[in-house]
Structure 1
Amino acid sequence: MTEIVAGVRVPDSAIARAATQLVRDTEDDLLYNHSRRVFFWAALTGERRGLDYDAELLYLGAMFHDMGLTERYSSPNLRFEVDGANAARDFMKSYGVAERDIEDVWTAIALHTTPGIPEHMRPTIALVTAGVEMDVLGINYHAFSHEHRHEVCACHPREANFKENIIDHFAEGIKKKPETTFGNVKADVLALKDPNFKRINFCSIILGSAWPA
């Protein structure tokens, strides 16, 4: 049966169903529900902005965006966003998805924690970040109706301590490769959660480089 939440229809294609099952089997409840909410916030944002987006690609971007935090898809030395993007790419290739569409989903996931850039790109890329920003940071919270917020969260609940627990999930997913947080927002996570974390300083790298001047 077609699933509709807050007026948003969940894609019911073979690849979307397989993605749902894979994420459900890989992520815990917090990340799975978060990923599903991201899709609804993203789709509602797209409708509010009048964007012509591909719901299936948006769904894949939303569902895979945090897969790099899981042990199964985490690499030893890549940003978790790239790990998730690579997982989505490999999954989509197995279904014969067009390269341009794979590139959009890959980019949407890889850039979803890099503010100020995705919003200027194609709809799939812009909207995945918008969905993440709504669910994690509350950006544009009041642009969504109370009814839509209630319906989405009734289907995919935010647990009582979601704010603290999502930060814990971020920390757990990146603590073994702190160098990957250089230049992105996840450095703030380790600064909060890891007392031994030392930020890499951009200016120190410049001043300490091999260039004589």
Structure 2
Amino acid sequence: MTTTIAGIQIPDSMMAREATELVRDTETDLLYHHSRRVFLFGALAGQRKQLKYDPELLYIGAMFHDMGLVAPYSSEHERFEVDSANAAREFLRRHRIGEDEIEQVWTAIALHTTPGIPQHMKPVIALVTAGVEMDVLGLAYDEFDEQQREEVTHAHPRGSHFKEGIIDAFAHGTIHKPHTTFGNVKADVLALKDPHYHRENFCTMILGSAWKS
């Protein structure tokens, strides 16, 4: 039976159900519910902006966007966004999805913490980021009506400590590879959560490079 939340239908294909089960079994409750809210807020943003997109691709992008924070998908050397995108790509290839569609999902996930770029790209890419920014940062909060917000959070609760919990999840997923946070928002997470973290400085790197001038 198709589930509808805040007027948005959750994709119910075999692939979507398998993705749901995989994420449910792999991630924490906090990350699972966050990922579902990302899809719903992304879809609602797409509806409001009258964008045409494939809901199933948006669903996979939303559901996999944080998989790189958890084992067995967290590598030693890649940014967690890349690990998440790679996991989605492998999943979609197993389901024989076309490479153009896979590239959209991969890019959506890889760029979801890079502000200022996704909104200028294809709808699936833009809407994964829109969903993340709404749920984590509250961006465009007032562009969703109160009933939409209540229905989404009733179906997938934030709980009383989501803000602190999501920061902890980010820290847990990146603290073992601090070098991957250079130039991205997870540097702020480790600066808050890891007393031994040393933030790389872009200008220091330029001035200290092997070039003489």
TM-score class normalised by the smaller sequence:
over 0.9
One-letter identity of the residue aligned with 1:179: H
Indicate yes or no: 2:122 matched with 1:133.
no
C-alpha separation in 2, matches of 1:86 and 1:34 = 20
What aligned pairs does 1:57-136 form with structure 2 within 5 A after superposition? 57-136=57-136
Partner of 1:25 in structure 2?
A: 25
Deviations 1:50-78 (A, max 9, x none): 11011000000000000000021000010
Partner of 2:180 in structure 1?
A: 180
One-letter identity of the residue aligned with 2:60: L
C-alpha separation in 1, matches of 2:35 and 2:133 = 12
**TM-score (normalizing by structure 2):** 0.99
Tell me, what secondary structure is at the counterpart of 2:85? helix
Shift of 1:132: 0.1
One-letter identity of the residue aligned with 2:186: K
Shift of 1:133: 0.2
Shift of 1:212: 1.1
- Between the two proteins, the alignment pairs up a number of residues equal to 213
C-alpha separation in 2, matches of 1:201 and 1:113 = 19
C-alpha separation in 2, matches of 1:140 and 1:117 = 16
Partner of 1:39 in structure 2?
A: 39
C-alpha separation in 1, matches of 2:192 and 2:209 = 29
**TM-score (normalizing by structure 1):** 0.99
C-alpha separation in 2, matches of 1:108 and 1:52 = 16
Shift of 1:188: 0.3
Tell me, what secondary structure is at the counterpart of 1:112? coil
Partner of 1:194 in structure 2?
A: 194
Tell me, what secondary structure is at the counterpart of 1:51? coil
Partner of 1:162 in structure 2?
A: 162
Tell me, what secondary structure is at the counterpart of 1:191? helix
Tell me, what secondary structure is at the counterpart of 1:197? coil
Cα RMSD after superposing both structures: 0.5
Shift of 1:195: 0.8
One-letter identity of the residue aligned with 2:173: G
